[in-house]
Structure 1
């Protein structure tokens, strides 16, 4: 099967030292968000190269095997192959089937980079093209944190088409999620929304400043002028101690 060849190529590109670094970076220790994940030590450009070389010849069974791998880079490769399949076809039925495959196998999308490199390119575009924001709302209400992150990151595609309301809505739904990874994702997408509509972002921040996690706020205002950043941080601190 082509999946075996892909895994051999990824193993050949790996590095024991890099694998150890990645395991620490992606928090794979006991009790951490990536607990138990394993790495080959392949940089993302190498994974992308393998994915682009083989996506056209890989069937769904190959992709299933890749997504079920214990190794992070193998799962990433399978997901990037899905992105290639989705973006390179002009057939609506193939795109719909690819998005459905992604959705049905999302239990294997279990770290932030796997989400961030793929969610908006597949589910973001699919939900926009089919006007199916309810799918992202459903994921946003899931008990699973990675589903929630998929939902908010997917709105990146909506933002790039000039639609920011969904980003604000989904950020608000999980504004007080307990995990820092959601605080970062919400702040990142709010910042991106602000690039399109700075007035809407400022209104959102002022309205919810009393409940904004500090990390979310810092990410959201990262591109503000220094004076404006400090004003929002001071307001947040004042309310925190009120």
Structure 2
């Protein structure tokens, strides 16, 4: 079995200072920004993913150690390992992965970390269980837990189960943060891929009050005429 140190050594060997500077700006790590103090060392996602696949036998306790790292790519590697482990895990292992994930949401603190893991782990675990935890997350004071809640439904949307996405979108409809508006609009767009008529019914009674960013994401695949209709106040 591998250790957190093994993964860290491989990730750091792939570091690129020039890329780190670009990523730090892209992910808003400046003072007062949403990722203030997050540290990037410049490892692209495909490289991090490739490295993670070489260490899938790393115990969950070691991955948890990586989740506490201040380095973004190390937290990502841990999450990518957890996602792959979840796919092949038995019931007890899935429960452990899910509980560890929710116990460390403070470490899953950027939109890319949420988006590559929430649907697979949280959505995957809760799909045939009580969905109440998602509603608690959606009403959390923590931004990233709110994003986890809505993005976790992505897996369900693909299977045609749309109710929770729409209910959570209602809860987040007036959210002030752009990252939640974008995520909610994105999931609404996914709903529209499965059932455009249902998305339109949802929008028809809400589009005038929806934040424009959320609405633009939701109607991105509509015709120009349809987009014009919904974008008018």
CA distance, structure 2, for counterparts of residue 174 and residue 145 of structure 1: 11
Identify the residue that residue 112 of structure 1 maps to in structure 2: 111
Identify the residue that residue 240 of structure 1 maps to in structure 2: none
Identify the residue that residue 34 of structure 2 maps to in structure 1: 33
- Report the CA distance between 1:129 and its aligned residue: 2.6
Q: Deviations over 1:215-237 (max 9, x none)?
A: 00100000001111111112x3x
Query: Among residues 159, 170, 174, which one is paired with 2:172 in the alignment?
Result: 174
CA contact (8 A) 2:14 2:43 kept: yes
Note if 1:159 corresponds to 2:144.
no
Note if 1:98 corresponds to 2:97.
yes
CA distance, structure 2, for counterparts of residue 158 and residue 26 of structure 1: 28
Q: Secondary structure at the match of 1:41?
A: coil
Q: CA RMSD in A?
A: 1.0
CA distance, structure 2, for counterparts of residue 93 and residue 2 of structure 1: 21
Q: Secondary structure at the match of 2:153?
A: helix
Q: TM-score, normalised by structure 2?
A: 0.97
Structure in which a larger fraction of residues adopt helix: 1
Q: Secondary structure at the match of 2:174?
A: coil
- Report the CA distance between 1:35 and its aligned residue: 0.3
Note if 1:125 corresponds to 2:133.
no
Unaligned runs of 5+ in 1: 237-242
- Report the CA distance between 1:163 and its aligned residue: 0.6
Unaligned runs of 5+ in 2: none
- Report the CA distance between 1:26 and its aligned residue: 0.2
Q: Secondary structure at the match of 1:37?
A: coil
Identify the residue that residue 228 of structure 1 maps to in structure 2: 226
CA contact (8 A) 2:60 2:97 kept: no
CA distance, structure 2, for counterparts of residue 10 and residue 33 of structure 1: 24
CA distance, structure 1, for counterparts of residue 42 and residue 187 of structure 2: 29
Q: Secondary structure at the match of 1:55?
A: coil
- Report the CA distance between 1:60 and its aligned residue: 2.5
CA distance, structure 1, for counterparts of residue 3 and residue 209 of structure 2: 50
Q: Secondary structure at the match of 1:208?
A: coil
CA distance, structure 2, for counterparts of residue 209 and residue 231 of structure 1: 10
Q: TM-score, normalised by structure 1?
A: 0.94
CA distance, structure 2, for counterparts of residue 161 and residue 33 of structure 1: 32
Identify the residue that residue 143 of structure 1 maps to in structure 2: 141
CA distance, structure 2, for counterparts of residue 118 and residue 145 of structure 1: 16
CA distance, structure 2, for counterparts of residue 15 and residue 209 of structure 1: 44
Identify the residue that residue 46 of structure 1 maps to in structure 2: 47
- Report the CA distance between 1:44 and its aligned residue: 0.4
Q: Following TM superposition, where does structure 1 have runs of at least 4 consecutive aligned residues deviating by more than 3 angstroms?
A: none
- Report the CA distance between 1:2 and its aligned residue: 1.6
